[in-house]
Every structure is written in structure tokens, then in C-alpha cells.
A = this chain, B = another copy of it.
Amino acid sequence: MKQITAELLTIGDEILYGQIVDTNSQWMSVELTNIGVKIVRKTSVADKEEEILTAFAEAEKRADVILITGGLGPTSDDITKPCLAKYFNCDLAIHAEALAEVTEFFKSRGRALTEMNRQQAALPTACTKITNPVGTAPGMWFEKDNKVFMSMPGVPHEMKRMIAEQVIPRLKQKYELPVIYHKIIRTIGQGESFLAEKIANWEKALPAHIKLAYLPSLGEVKLRLTCFGNSLALLEQEAEVLTEKLRNIIGSSIYAYGEEPIEVAIGKLLKENGLTLSIAESCTGGNVSHMITSVPGSSEYFQGSIVPYSYDIKMSQLGVKEETLNQYGAVSEQTIREMAVLVRQKFNTSIGIATSGIAGPGGATPDKPVGTVWIAYADGERITTKKLQLSKERHLNIQLSSMAVLNLLRLGIKELTANVQKAVN
């Protein structure tokens, strides 16, 4: 089987000037690697015809698939389309279907089409138009001597939809690709080196055709098994046997598999068990609610939340006792207990969770440095609290506290539903 190779080509002065970080090419690398396409080069060039045409020609010599992002906007500095037309020796012409789509896009937003917008529907006649379901610039698919050029907008969510829904299925159809199976095991609440030590023997015993990678991110560590072989069914089976062994070692840290972030896993747990949630978040400032409500259908289990940022609001809107605040301060076990219990009562939910801490850079006291955070969980039976000592960085403290309270919630639901199960039996 021939190794199919790809080059990622980013077009845009803003990348070269360093005005934006190119996160697109990393995302594309992962997606392409996952289907067995090997990235052989990444290139970024300016919005300049000569440089773009040279880059096309060079990439065509090196790779089978050339994935191009950027330079498709409506303004005059965006010249990827005329360059593609020149390279493929064809005209730029209004594409009827693309025009209908861009017209509909603006119509659905109650806006008329300007001439500049209309030009977004002009495409090189040699290409197959790829619909952009979330933007106005269509993608363009070219084939030449068994090679593929695919041009996409640089806007990340537009590019991602095109890659996932159009490019990957088309590449799989066009080329014979090897069988690679990835299994992602998502863990929360333990650091990378702690996990690595716990599973060292399991890792050593992995067969040669299965590789393990640690993918740590804020507050969680994903473990990725990459399995190479000939039969997808067999690889899946092997990975599942290995995962079962892993569950025996670090089962309580595993919260989901694959592309399921913690807020989705928690949504499922709440929904399956008919539980409702409310949140009182101080130091996380709305971020936990934002995470919970980023999940479609979250209104089925999420009733609402309060962000009682000041002492006044903690008392007047949530009902925290003045004595508690005066005696122990807002960042204390006593206050966090009251917050979780009160929000659960006031919002009339099965479960209440709460956060209160010093996100920084201001607000520290001698006994409560920046990064001191209390989190709590309350249901009808149990209240649990936990103290965290995080970092000096505000942004990091907000993210890490959010992940920690969601993990406390997850563990709380597990225990609550296990108790219910016991009571039933």
C-alpha cells in the first residue's frame, strides 16, 4: 500500500506577521494522521501571487494531497482564488449554486447581498465546489494527475466542518488508506506523571503495533491508543481488552472515551438519572455555567446559576450568612458549604455545586495566597468540599477550578446513583 502524503499550505500575511497563531494546521495534522495520511510539510506564505503559485508547484511535487487554508475573504488582499484559477489554467466565474448559498446565508440574517459578497460565489471553473455550511466562502476541490488540491477558508470552525464532513470522506474514497484505530481514554483529577507511574506495567506490556500517547490539557489527561493493523474489528477488540485492564487500575479517573468532554459526560449522567443542577460560582465567574450550557439540550437538567461576585450579592441574592463571611471569609470551607446548599435550595435542584477562591492577581491574604480555591457539592444526602491550591495565573485558576468542581460533581453523582441503586436492591 502506497503511503499517501499531504502538505498543509497556509496563505496569509497575518500568519507571517504573527498576528494570529496558526492552530488550524495542528488540528488538520491530527485529523489527517488519524486516517493514515502522512503530513510531509507545512508551509505558510504571504498573500502574494508569485509566492502562492510557487508554493502550489512545490507542494505538488512533494505531496499527494495539498490542503490550503486562507485568502478566501471578500477583500482585495485575499487572492487565493485568482491564484488557483491561474494555476489550474481556468476562469473565475460565478457558480450558480454557490451564489444561491451565499444569497441564502445573508437572507437568513436579514441582510442584502453586496457586490463584494456576491464575488464570494465566483469560483475557478476547474474546481468542484464544497459547501460551507457555516460561512460565505465555499471550499474548492481540484484533482490533477491523481493529486488533490483542496482550498478552504482560514476561519477555524468553517475549515473544521469542511474537513470533517467533506474532505476526509472524499480522501477515503479516493485513496487506499491503511487501517488505523485510535482509542481515546479521558481521565480527570490526576496529573500525567501520577497516571504514568500507576499504569507503567500496563504500558510496558502493550504489543508493538499499539502505541500509547499522553495528551495532557488543563485539568485532564487523555490517553490515546493508536493501533496499526489490517482489520478494524480486530483492532477495536484488542483496544477494548486493553482498556478493560486499564479500568481495573485507574477506573475512577476515567470519565469518558473518544470526543466527549467532561461537560458532555456530566450532562449524560444528569439526564440518565433524572437529576437537575444549579451552580453558585464566584471565582470561576460564570465559566462552569458556560461549560455546562455549551452542551446542546442542557436546559433539560440545568436550571440556572448565580455568580455572586461581591460579598453583598453572596448575602442578598444567595443568602450566605453575614457571620460566616465575616468570621471565615468568602474563600473558606464554611462559606463554600453554605453556597452549595443554598443554591440547591433556592434553585430547587437535585444537586448544587459551588466555587469560591482567589483567582488573582489581586485579593491574596497571608494565609490565602493567589490560587487558593474552595469547591463544594451538595445533594439531598451529602455535602462534600475540597480545597485546591492552584497557580499564580488568573486564567489557569479559573479553568482548573472549573474542571475540579465538575469532577467533584461527577464523583458526587456516581455515589448518589450508586446509593440509590443499593437502596433499590
Cβ of A304 within 8 Å of any chain B Cβ, yes or no, is yes
Asked if A13 is at the interface of the complex by the 8 Å CB criterion, the answer is yes
Residues on B with C-beta less than 8 A from A394 are 294, 296
| A193, CB-defined interface residue at 8 Å | yes
Q: Which residue in chain B gives the minimum CB-CB distance to A120? A: B193
CA distance in complex: A26, B13 (Å): 12
Whether A193 pairs with B39 at a CB distance below 8 angstroms is no
- Contact A215/B14 with A75-B192, A307-B304, A308-B304 known, Cβ cut-off 8 Å: yes
Q: Which residues of B contact A360 (CB under 8 A)?
A: 296
Given contacts A22-B22, A393-B134, contact A304 B306 (CB under 8 A): yes
Q: Check A19 for interface membership: any CB of B closer than 8 A.
A: yes
- A347 interface residue per 8 A CB criterion: yes
Q: How far is the CA of A304 from the CA of B286 in the complex (A)?
A: 9
Task: For chain A, residues 19 to 44, give those with C-beta under 8 angstroms from any C-beta of chain B.
Answer: 19-23, 25-31, 33, 39-44
In angstroms, how far is the closest chain B Cβ from the Cβ of A330? 10
Report A362-395 residues with CB < 8 Å from chain B CB: 362-363, 389-395
Asked if A207 is at the interface of the complex by the 8 Å CB criterion, the answer is no
Collect the chain B residues with CB atoms within 8 Å of residue A411's CB. Answer: none
- What residues of chain B lie closer than 8 Å to A302, measured between beta carbons? 309
- CB contacts under 8 Å to B, within A185-243, are 192-194, 196-197, 213-216, 224, 226
User: Is A86 an interface residue when CB atoms closer than 8 A count as contact?
Assistant: no
A16 interfacial contact with B, CB 8 Å? yes
Do residues B42 and A117 form an inter-chain contact, with CB atoms below 8 A?
no
Of the stretches A107-115, A169-177, A250-258, the one at the interface is: A107-115
Contacts of A25 in B (CB 8 A): 18, 22
* Beyond A74-B193, A285-B292, A299-B363, 8 extra complex contacts between A and B, CB < 8 Å: A18-B26, A18-B27, A41-B43, A75-B192, A286-B286, A296-B362, A298-B309, A299-B362
Could you list some 22 contacts between A and B, CB below 8 A? A14-B213, A18-B39, A19-B215, A19-B224, A21-B26, A22-B26, A41-B43, A75-B196, A75-B214, A110-B389, A116-B197, A279-B307, A287-B293, A290-B398, A294-B394, A296-B394, A298-B309, A299-B310, A302-B309, A305-B306, A306-B317, A317-B347
